[in-house]
A = this chain, B = another copy of it.
Amino acid sequence: MNEALFTANNLWIMIAAVLVFVMHLGFAALEAGFVRRKNTVNILFKNVMIISIGLLTYYILGFNLMYPGGDPGGFFGFAGFGLSMPEGAAGLIEYADGGYTYWTDFIFQAMFAATCCTIVSGAVAERIKLGPFLIFCVLFVSLSYPITGMWKWGAGWLDELGFYDFAGSTLVHAVGGFGALAAIILLGARKGKFTKEGINPIPGHNLPLAAIGVFLLWFGWFGFNGGSVLSGDAGAVSLVFVTTALSAAAGIMGSFVTSYILFKSHDLSMVLNGCLGGLVGITAGADLMSPMEAIAIGFIAGIIIPFSVVMFDRLRLDDPVGATSVHLICGIWGTLAVGLFGDLAGIAQIGYQIIGIASIGAFTFTFAFIVMYVLKITMGIRVSEEDELKGLDIAEHEMSAYPDTNIGVENYAMSIQ
Contact = CB atoms under 8 A, between A and B. Distances in A.
Interface stretch (A96-104, A363-371, A372-380): A96-104
Nearest to A32: B208
A207 B44 contact: yes
B4 A8 contact: yes
Copies in the complex: 3
Interface of A: 2-12, 14-15, 17-19, 21-22, 24-25, 28-29, 32, 36-37, 40-41, 44-45, 47-49, 51-56, 59, 82-83, 91-93, 100-104, 106-107, 110-111, 130, 203-209, 211-212, 214-216, 218-219, 222, 226, 232-235, 237-239, 241-242, 245-246, 248-250, 252-253, 256, 265-269, 271-272, 275, 291-292, 295, 396-406, 408, 410-411, 417
Contact of A397 (B8, B22, B235, B267): B267
Contacts of A12: 11
Nearest to A294: B59
A28 B203 contact: no
Contacts of A233: 7
Contacts of A292: 82
A340 to B, nearest CB: 20
Nearest to A234: B10
A49 to B, nearest CB: 7
A272 B22 CA distance: 16
20 contacts: A7-B232, A10-B232, A21-B218, A21-B219, A37-B404, A41-B207, A47-B211, A48-B214, A48-B268, A49-B256, A55-B248, A56-B249, A56-B253, A59-B246, A103-B241, A206-B401, A206-B402, A208-B209, A267-B399, A404-B408
Given A14-B237, A399-B268, A56 B110 contact: no
Given A14-B238, A45-B268, A55-B245, 12 more contacts: A2-B4, A7-B232, A10-B234, A41-B268, A55-B246, A56-B295, A101-B234, A103-B239, A265-B397, A266-B397, A404-B417, A405-B406
Contacts of A107: 238, 241-242, 245
B397 A241 contact: no
Contacts of A83: 242, 291
A103 B399 contact: no
Contacts of A110: 245
Given A107-B245, A206-B401, A271-B49, A6 B100 contact: no
B397 A268 contact: yes
Contact of A208 (B111, B272, B401): B401
A211 B21 contact: no
Contacts of A9: 7
A55 B245 CA distance: 8
Contacts of A212: 25, 28-29, 212
A214 B5 CA distance: 34
- A-B residue pairs, 4 tightest by C-beta: A4-B4, A103-B238, A25-B215, A4-B5
Given A10-B238, A52-B253, A219 B25 contact: yes
B48 A275 contact: yes
A408 B402 CA distance: 11
